[in-house]
Amino acid sequence: MDEQNKLILPAIAIRGLVPLPNVDFRIEVGRDISINALEEAEKMYGGNVLLVIQKDPNVMDVTPENLYPIGTLAKIQLKLKMPSGNYKVKFKVTDRIKINEYTSFSPYLVAEYQKVQSINLGDEEELALVRRVLDLFQKEGKTFLVAPEEVSRLLQSGLTTEQTADVMAAYLKSADKYKYLEEISVSRRLEMLIEDAAKEKKIIEIENKINEDVKKSIDESQKEYYLREKMKAIQTELGDKARQDEEVEELRKQIAAAKMPKRIEEKAYKELERYANTNNQMAESGIIRSYLDFLINLPWYKVTEDTNDLKAVEKALDKNHYGLKKVKERIVEYLAVKMMTGKNPSTILCFAGPPGVGKTSLAKSIAEALGRNFIKQSLGGVRDESEIRGHRRTYVGALPGRILKAMKDAGTINPVFLLDEIDKMASDYRGDPAAAMLEVLDPEQNSNFSDNYLEEPYDLSQVMFITTANSLEDIPAPLRDRMEIIELSSYTEYEKFNIAFKHLLPKELKNHGLTNEQLEITDAAMYKIIQGYTREAGVRELDRLISAICRKTVKDILIDHKEKTVITPENLADYLGKVRYFNNEGRNESQIGIVTGLAYTQFGGDTLDIEVTTYPGKGGLILTGKLGDVMKESAQAGLSYVKAHAKELGIDGVDFSTIDIHIHVPEGAVPKDGPSAGVTLTTALVSALSNRPVPANIGMTGEITLRGSVLPIGGLREKSIAAVRTGLKKIYIPEENERDLDEVPEEVKEKLQIVPVKNIAELLHNIF
Ligand code: ADP
């Protein structure tokens, strides 16, 4: 080749792209060396320029080693200057060329080159290949080409085999295109196209598979996250953003501040997330909110420090309660064990006794002395397990159980927790609340107490439970086993008198803002209040009456400007109305067919009159007054005894087949049961049948057998106190109960003659 025919043109180095002949090529030109070449080509070479390809697109400096030997010849068709100073250029690419030599590198590339001719046989093989390529394009163009529509447009303009090969290669997705420039055989280029198309197809298949796998591996939480985001988006779109962010933030702070156990905290945050995404018009929103509030307000770690000072406990108990010496001793012993071992004793204290005798206030004093918070939850009438354990949150209006509700109020995890009236729980078809209570009270189990509403275990092990009951028989045996029973019994009049002056009156004076100088109740008046206005085992009513007197006194002072009120037996009626009970009077005469029995109820001891009357009939026995089965049987047994011993009893003249006997126990609305009315029923029968009166001021108690033996009874102390209260002077008790006489308070013994009897004959002989 001689010097004259040497082909020389400016060259532009292309990074990352491969221009191919027969296809327009667009790039942005920015490097100085390229801009210079561009301008020179336009000025001096009629827009003709060489496009050479950089091996490593990341290198900015242009060196011959970094340029491929094969490039293209192109003509500038369009050149636009950008604000950045770069040029957008469109080239018409015409030929493959081979660079022989670079003659200059500055200020732009200049190369000496020669055109490269493709080998284009046009034979059958080539024809078959091009058909195959076109076929692939028809079927799967999308899989291996970047802009199939553009290719389609170009194809329709009518292309040669070589042009077809170049166009396809130019729009191939595959990045490695230099080989299409380098290859001179058109058939080979077509083969390469088929290979690349297959490769792309494979890649797409693999991609799809990966996508699927990835999709599968998006775990539940991510999925949930996406869904929530989506929901948020929808709600925002609808213009009612579910929740004020501030409220959610506030709750988030509260959750953090509540210092919950890890698991609960995580749950709380999850619920919060749910809350944030629930429209507040929806019921669901309120349910979640209550749940969150509950989690936040339930104590998790907060404790009060116990004062481990037994002396202080003793003092607190003495300060708040009169008497109860034994009870206080046992409480102190119980707490001593707690202090020694540093944990709650495994048995639970149970205060058993009639209402108003100080069970609740004792428990309160214990809390006060220990420095613990105090809560009380009544179990009376609980018949549904879910009242203890709560309802699942799926229920509308679901609530936590009574235990956790009270814990929320306690505010600490170690309060003194009074479970009031544990004997009044009943079980029915809705489950057995006693079983749930067992879990509450069992130190082995209660560190993981489960509440349906909370859904997570809650630790009750630091709580000091104290229970109260009116009657021990009604506590289910397994529960009773867990308890250390401390019995409190009725107060005598003397005790009430002392409690009134030492505790109730000072307390009520204080409550009403009064002083001793403004209100005085004389001793005699106090006794009259106790005897004439109350008839109770405890001191609740007494407390109420004293409170009533205080109220009236306040009125006296404020309205009538009275300086001092003195309550005496004479003016008592002005304050409390007419005397309600006349027990001590009017008990002196004797009556036929009416006998006073002594009963032991959950309200303490009581007296009850039994009336018997007979009239012509057919040998029937009528029992009225809401008698229980045991009492009815006692009546039958009594009657049998009377019939069998008619002769000794002096009633052999009676023809039982011609009379009906009616036994009635007044105060008909009050259910009565128990065997200890046996002697009373029998005595009343004998009195009625033999027309012999029985003194009204004697009472009796005892179960009888058909042979007439008198069996022992329970509650002697209570019954004797009640006897005095009712104004009886003498009571008959079973001989075997003599050993219980120690329990009977001295002041009762002073006022009451207590006569033990072995059998009914002895008793009847004594009376008649
Ligand atoms: P319970 O729980 O046994 O039904 P409470 O504890 O409610 O009875 O007692 C009722 C009221 O009587 C309370 O005001 C209590 O302080 C008072 N009370 C009971 N027993 C005594 C006592 N021994 N000394 C002082 N106050 C007493």
**pLDDT tens column, 206-246:** 888 877 777 776 666 677 777 777 777 776 666 555 456 77
In angstroms, the CA 472 to CA 455 distance is 33
Residues 281 and 348 grouped into a single domain: no
Strand partners, 14: 53
* Residue 669 pLDDT greater than 70, yes or no: no
Active site residues: 676, 719
Residues 406 and 552 grouped into a single domain: no
Q: How far away, in angstroms, is 603 Cα from ligand 1 center?
A: 14
516-527 average pLDDT score: 92
Residues 464 and 514 grouped into a single domain: no
Residues 563 and 443 grouped into a single domain: no
146-162 pLDDT tens trace: 888 988 888 888 889 99
Residues 26 and 169 grouped into a single domain: no
Residues 361 and 418 grouped into a single domain: yes
Q: How far away, in angstroms, is 540 Cα from ligand 1 center?
A: 7
* Residue 427 pLDDT greater than 80, yes or no: no
Residues 314 and 278 grouped into a single domain: no
* Residue 198 pLDDT greater than 80, yes or no: yes
Q: Residue 421: CB within 6 Å of ligand 1? A: no
Query: Mutation test of ligand 1: which of 503, 505, 530 has the most ligand atoms closer than 8 Å to its C-beta?
Result: 503
DSSP SS3 for 222: helix
725-748 pLDDT tens trace: 888 999 999 999 999 999 898 989
273-300 pLDDT tens trace: 888 887 776 778 888 888 999 999 999 9
Listed residues 90, 116, 142: the one ending a domain: 116
Q: Atom of ligand 1 at shortest distance to CA of 468?
A: 2
pLDDT, position 45: 92
Residues 427 and 482 grouped into a single domain: yes
Listed residues 196, 212, 240: the one ending a domain: 240
Q: Residue 540: CB within 6 Å of ligand 1? A: yes
Q: How many separate domains does the chain show? A: 6
pLDDT, position 298: 93
Q: How confident is the model at residue 626 (pLDDT cuts 50, 70, 90)?
A: confident
Q: How far away, in angstroms, is 353 Cα from ligand 1 center?
A: 11
Listed residues 453, 487, 521: the one ending a domain: 487
Q: Atom of ligand 1 at shortest distance to CA of 320?
A: 25
Distances from the Cα of 754 to the Cα of 53, 315, 721, 767, angstroms = 128, 37, 12, 14
* DSSP per-residue codes, 396-447: TT----HHHHHHHHH-SSS-EEEEETGGG---BTTB-HHHHHHHHH-TTTGG
The fraction of the chain above a pLDDT of 70, given in percent, is 95
pLDDT, position 242: 47
Q: Residue 499: CB within 6 Å of ligand 1? A: yes
Nearest to 366, CA basis, from 400, 324, 407, 428? 324
pLDDT, position 156: 87
Structure tokens at 471: 């009657």
387-409 average pLDDT score: 87
In angstroms, the CA 456 to CA 448 distance is 9
pLDDT, position 583: 62
Q: What does R_g of the chain's alpha carbons equal in angstroms?
A: 53
24-69 pLDDT tens trace: 999 999 899 999 999 999 999 999 999 999 998 888 888 888 999 9
Distances from the Cα of 645 to the Cα of 330, 474, 681, angstroms = 49, 38, 15
The average confidence (pLDDT) of the chain is 88
Residues 726 and 593 grouped into a single domain: yes
Straight-line distance from the first to the last Cα atom of the chain, in angstroms, rounded to the nearest whole number: 164
Nearest CA to ligand 1 atom 26: 321
CATH number of the domain that 232 lies in? 1.20.58
User: Any idea which of 43-52, 192-201, 427-436, 565-574 has the lowest mean pLDDT?
Assistant: 427-436
Residues 497 and 613 grouped into a single domain: no
In angstroms, the CA 469 to CA 480 distance is 11
- Pairwise pLDDT comparison (586 vs 52), residue with the higher score: 52
Q: In b/e form, how buried is each residue of 549-581, taking b as 16+ CB within 10 angstroms?
A: bbeebbebbeeeeeeebebebeebeebbeeeee
In angstroms, the CA 687 to CA 708 distance is 16
In angstroms, the CA 299 to CA 459 distance is 10
Q: How far away, in angstroms, is 716 Cα from ligand 1 center?
A: 22
Q: Residue 357: CB within 6 Å of ligand 1? A: yes
CA quadruple 217, 222, 226, 232: dihedral, nearest 10? 170
| Prediction pTM value | 0.62
Structure tokens at 111: 């190369």
pLDDT, position 2: 44
Residues 236 and 275 grouped into a single domain: no
Q: In this structure, is residue 305 part of a structural domain?
A: no
173-201 average pLDDT score: 90
Range of 110's domain?
Answer: 2-116
pLDDT, position 610: 92
pLDDT, position 76: 94
Q: In b/e form, how buried is each residue of 57-89, taking b as 16+ CB within 10 angstroms?
A: eeeeebeeebbbebbbbbebeeeeeeeeebbeb
302-338 pLDDT tens trace: 999 988 888 888 888 999 999 888 899 999 999 998 8
Residues 290 and 402 grouped into a single domain: no
